[in-house]
Amino acid sequence: MADPYYIENCPGRGRGVFANKTYSPGDYILSFTGKQTPIHEITDFTHFLQIAPDIFLSPSGKADDYVNHSCDPNCAVYFESDGPVLRAITTIAPDQELSFDYGTIMFSEPTMFQCECGSPNCRGLIGNFYSLPEELRKKYQTENMVPLLSRYSLVEIQAAQNEEGC
């Protein structure tokens, strides 16, 4: 059986992860792995995934490091018993790039950078959850697409940010 996804170069965006089969909404795609790292130990947030108000998963060197951002994502990150996983939120065809909105997993990360997703809905910049338009934040929260908010309240997240000076 072929791997369910593959990694390929994406001009101007580094590498990307592509479907090797059809996924239906809700289908499991992959798990995010890496070492748990406190925010104060991170100097470059590239490929880090926030899993608690002050804890991130480091790059793993695996496919989970290369799932790109899209302002019109076909996947979302969810917390499950074994940790964060990527699941389809739309039907995904073979050879379609897998993507999620990075704004759903960044709270404490101070980074903002140019978006290269190419979506008709492109916001132009990728930032943390607070930088998302209010209507989109509400939509993502209603659809349970903000993993940290499934485990922590905004008050808890903001309190941790204040302690870390973010």
DSSP assignment, residue 36? E
**Spatial contact of 29 and 90, defined as CB atoms under 8 Å apart:** no
Q: Where are the domains of the chain?
A: 5-164
Position with higher pLDDT, 159 vs 89: 89
Place of tokens 């930032």: 127
Place of tokens 């239906």: 24
Q: Find the range with the poorest average confidence among 7-11, 12-16, 51-55, 109-113.
A: 109-113
pLDDT at 153: 82
Rg of the chain over CA atoms, in angstroms?
15
pLDDT in tens, 96-146: 999 999 999 988 777 788 999 999 999 999 999 999 999 999 999 999 999
Threshold 0.85, pTM exceeds: yes
Q: What share of the chain is helix, strand, coil (3-state, %, to 5)?
A: 20, 30, 50
Provide CATH code, domain 5-164: 2.170.270.10
